[in-house]
A and B are shown apart, each in its own frame.
Chain A
Amino acid sequence: MTQLSHIRNFSIVAHIDHGKSTLADRLIQMTGTVAQRDMKAQLLDSMDIERERGITIKANTVRIEYPAKDGQTYILNLIDTPGHVDFAYEVSRSMRAVEGSLLVVDASQGVEAQTLANVYQAIDAGHDIVPVLNKIDLPAAEPDRVKAQIEDVIGLDASDAIPISAKSGLGIPDVLEAIVTRLPAPHGDRDAPLKAMLVDSWYDAYLGVVVMIRVMDGVIRKGDRVRMMQTNAVYGIDKLAVLKPQMVDIDELGPGEIGVFTASIKQVRDTRVGDTITHERKGCDAPLPGFKPAQPVVFCGLFPVDAADFENLRDAIEKLSLNDASFSSEMETSAALGFGFRCGFLGLLHLEVIRDRLEREYDLDLITTAPSVVFKLHMKDGEVRDLHNPADMPDLTYVDHIEEPRIKATIMVPDDYLGDILKLCQDRRGIQLDLSYAGSRAMVVYDLPLAEVVFDFYDRLKSVTKGYASFDYTISEYREDFLVKMSILVNEEPVDALAMMVHRDRAEARGRAMVEKLKELIPRHMFKIPIQAAIGARVIARETLSAMRKDVTAKCYGGDASRKRKLLDKQKAGKKKMRQFGKVEIPQEAFISALKMDG
């Protein structure tokens, strides 16, 4: 058991790529938590997809022991968090488990959108915050300018900000010392009934569901019978451990401590993040406030390219959802694409990550349909329906009005690019809420429809600002607007997988862009193919793909036979990646590519 005064719990938060995971590496390394030979860069990013993309997706906790200058040894629980906005939920729940935050700011880039978002969350959670200026080894680092920026933009005292290089290890001892001296120790009553917060849970192939907890009051021991207060389920603790970052068994966890247990829980879905865990007998009276589960905000259809793979897709989705409760799925049938699933995600990166994992870990070839948000249909009879899929849009005569989710977006951008950003937001039906400056950087706050952002807003933002803008958002509210369903007809037949909800005023432009794109994406056929965008029965844009006229090899002699045969094999394989709509074959990638707008 560790005395409260000798515990420090903190999260490491920052904008994407500012060096959180690298700082965690150094803290782990300098305290000897992991043997030198087992160290590798971004050690905590253990998923394949995290290592490949060089980003953190899942928050990770490590318990380290630090002998401080005062001669005492402290237990530090650090939580490395993801920077990407899709995984903001990981950050917010992590913060609930700790008392302080290290705010990492890349000294060559300065304060960015997620820096701000994370700081405000830390302040809301009542954290003490230690600012850390990272990457001072870079020639472009300007620690003084960034310090001033932290004070101007965030209003946080940066006079004691610690300059470090997480890469080289410079300044790390100062960080360790600051954790002990500048962050608070946790509070808690060892003699009170057990009260622990369920911080996270995941599925382990060998151990089943692993539950991570932060003990507030009381003591939890191996063999205890505990109750989850929200689900009211009772479990016996099979294994109790701390993460170093491997599991190391421990006999008990007391107030202020963070650890994990297993209790023969079958599914991650059986656990609720934010739930309160107490003893079955003599439990605590009032649960912790808890927090709202992460809600999927972006939906799309996932269909197997080869219809015979449907059962495999079902299995794969089931297995993945075992471990990721923020991803939802429901069976869907499409006239165009056959059987598949309508899946919900936290954002587009989350969607990509899940799709990648399904394709790679389960060897599937998938068609992804247009991502959509959840619209609220207010029916004339007073009923309110959620619309997850534009293809399910009911007859308009029954609909009174439609609401869509709006977001509050914060964009930080060098003022040279401000004009482009304002234009982009305006084009996407944005309403400007605020505009302020910090040095040569502007901070703009916009009210935007989520639907206009989910698809390629972030890509556009990066390309118009050459990567210098950063972006963060939170969902604000549902609001009514003049929204209509736009159908796409290929060879006079509606393709349900290409239908989308659009604002009436933008429908013509969207429709035009879609049909032009599709004209490029669909290969020529033996007949000409009209491609149309329509609202109800009214065609608002039309292109015609002319018939194929020439596809033949001029020379083919004895030496060419083998080569031509291989080419034919390739064509046949390519055809398998196409979907048949009436007489027309549409390539699999067209469903996503058609939505990318260049303007």
Chain B
Amino acid sequence: MQEDWRDGGFGIYVHWPFCQSKCPYCDFNSHVAERVDQSRWLTAYLAELDRLAAEVPGRLVNAVFFGGGTPSLMQPDVVAGVLERIRKLWPQANDVEVTLEANPGSIEAGRFRAYREGGVNRVSMGMQAMRDEDLRRLGRMHRVAEARAAFDIARDCFDRVSFDLIYARQDQSLADWRAELDEALAMAVDHLSLYQLTVEEGTVFAERFKRGQLRGLPDEDKAADFYEVTQEVCGAAGMQAYEVSNHARPGAESRHNQVYWRSGDWLGIGPGAHGRLTLGSRRWTTEAPRAPGEWLATVGRGLAGELPREALTPGERLDEFLIMGLRLSEGIALDRMLGLAGKGLRADIQAELESDGLILMGNGRIATTERGRLVLNHVIRRISEGLS
């Protein structure tokens, strides 16, 4: 169990908690701030990197991810400074992936070249929709034409460019989604994230939903149809899902996100960031204070930007391994599962899930089928029960 994380690799997540405006569906730790003293933020990020490097020295970095919020609002020298320090503190894999989340506005696009020079080699753009009316209803600031222009600039600067779309939107029809998805696929390079709109607790959308003012969202059956259409259209275009909501050409999968799904170790730096660290026989969850001001002040005072750590119990560790790993079409390795659970899956539950067409066994792995991924919560629960 001590070295279990190695199968997932090692990544570093850097959280930038600011946005130009708050989107009504978003429950990320993102805030709108008047002025941000970016040099103070850089100093704080560096202090956190130094602190954590002392705990896990020498690990080979597979991936770095700037997430948000809107990291494309970061000054390029801040991004470059963070990457420079990472290179100084840890050895880098030959194919290290360095991703930055970008909003597809024109201002951001102006900084792409500078990010590349600082070491970023991949961007993930929040396109969200290819229809102006829908972007408006999602509360987004940009328009489709602007996003396309930003995307073209990104392609010029980076070999690897992905973008995100949100679907199963209000009043969306299956036919129109097919058409929209075709347009997206025509534009896509080798990676796409396609998320069904989720009404998250605590958002403006959630409030509207409770008051009955968020109409025209698909019911369970229609949402399942949306998912199936998405799999069919992407599959036909050679962009199979490698995770519930992520599609890529083989080899173009997001290395950083694979660290999560394969239960590797990662450092979480910045307000509200979560991390996982396997130290000796224990696996720790780390979490930073959520409020940007509090985090910055704490780290600025020379203290750790972290809440008290918690060690995962063996059962929790196993559950996380299942929750994350079963999202992947490659599934989970039986020997890892056996190592974490101390026993194999109950035969009746395995048989039930197989005969329901939800999982496939083979090559020493359990993987969910497309149908299984659609009801993943059920599959995870059954497997977790079948191991306890």
To the question of whether A and B form a pair in one complex, the answer is yes
* Residues of A bordering B, CB below 8 Å: 524, 526-527, 546, 548-559, 561-562, 564-565, 567-569, 571-572, 575
Chain B: which residue is nearest A525 at the CB level?
B378
Chain B hits for A526, CB < 8 A: 356, 358, 375, 378
Chain A hits for B77, CB < 8 A: none
Are A559 and B274 in contact, with the CB atoms below 8 A? yes
Chain B hits for A549, CB < 8 A: 220-221, 224, 374-375
Min CB distance A170 to B, Å, is 47
Q: Does B316 contact A (CB under 8 A)?
A: yes
CB contact under 8 A between A552 and B221, given known A557-B257, A558-B275, A564-B323:
no
Q: Which of the 9-residue segments B104-112, B265-273, B292-300 touches chain A?
A: B265-273
Are A558 and B266 in contact, with the CB atoms below 8 A? yes
CB contact under 8 A between A572 and B373, given known A548-B378, A550-B227, A558-B13:
no
Q: Does B195 contact A (CB under 8 A)?
A: yes
A565 to B223, CA, bound (A): 24
Are B381 and A575 in contact, with the CB atoms below 8 A? yes
Min CB distance B29 to A, Å, is 8
How many residues of chain B are within 8 Å of chain A by beta carbon? 43
Chain A hits for B191, CB < 8 A: none
Q: How many A-B pairs fall under 8 Å by CB? A: 98
Centre residue among A524, A552, A555, A564 by max chain B CB count within 10 A: A552
Which 8 pairs, one residue from A and one from B, show the smallest C-beta to C-beta distance?
A: A549-B224, A552-B376, A550-B224, A554-B195, A551-B377, A559-B274, A554-B196, A558-B260
Chain A: which residue is nearest B227 at the CB level?
A550
CB contact under 8 A between A558 and B320, given known A550-B220, A571-B381, A575-B381:
no
CB contact under 8 A between A561 and B260, given known A550-B224, A572-B381:
yes
Min CB distance B85 to A, Å, is 20
Instruction: Please tell me which one of the listed residues A527, A555, A556, A568 contacts residue B384 in the complex, with CB atoms under 8 A apart.
Output: A568
Chain A hits for B245, CB < 8 A: 554-555
Min CB distance A392 to B, Å, is 34
Are A550 and B319 in contact, with the CB atoms below 8 A? no
A548 to B357, CA, bound (A): 13
Chain B hits for A550, CB < 8 A: 220-221, 223-224, 227, 374-375
Min CB distance A538 to B, Å, is 31
Are B273 and A546 in contact, with the CB atoms below 8 A? no
Chain B hits for A557, CB < 8 A: 67, 257, 260
Are B375 and A568 in contact, with the CB atoms below 8 A? no
Centre residue among A550, A561, A567, A568 by max chain B CB count within 10 A: A550
Q: Does B247 contact A (CB under 8 A)?
A: no
Chain B: which residue is nearest A562 at the CB level?
B285
A548 to B378, CA, bound (A): 9
Chain A hits for B320, CB < 8 A: 561, 564-565
Instruction: Please tell me which one of the listed residues A546, A554, A567 contacts residue B244 in the complex, with CB atoms under 8 A apart.
Output: A554
Are A553 and B272 in contact, with the CB atoms below 8 A? no
A575 to B377, CA, bound (A): 13
| Additional A-B contacts beyond A552-B375, A552-B376, A557-B257 (20; CB < 8 A) | A546-B221, A548-B220, A549-B220, A550-B220, A550-B374, A551-B374, A551-B376, A552-B374, A555-B195, A557-B67, A559-B273, A561-B274, A561-B285, A561-B320, A561-B324, A564-B323, A565-B320, A568-B381, A572-B381, A572-B385
CB contact under 8 A between A548 and B381, given known A556-B327, A561-B323:
no
A571 to B196, CA, bound (A): 22
Instruction: Return 6 A-B CB contacts under 8 Å, by A number.
Output: A548-B220, A551-B374, A551-B378, A558-B274, A568-B323, A568-B381
Chain B stretch 240-259: residues in CB contact (< 8 A) with chain A: 244-245, 257, 259
CB contact under 8 A between A568 and B257, given known A546-B221, A549-B375, A556-B324:
no
Chain B hits for A569, CB < 8 A: 319
A473 to B378, CA, bound (A): 49
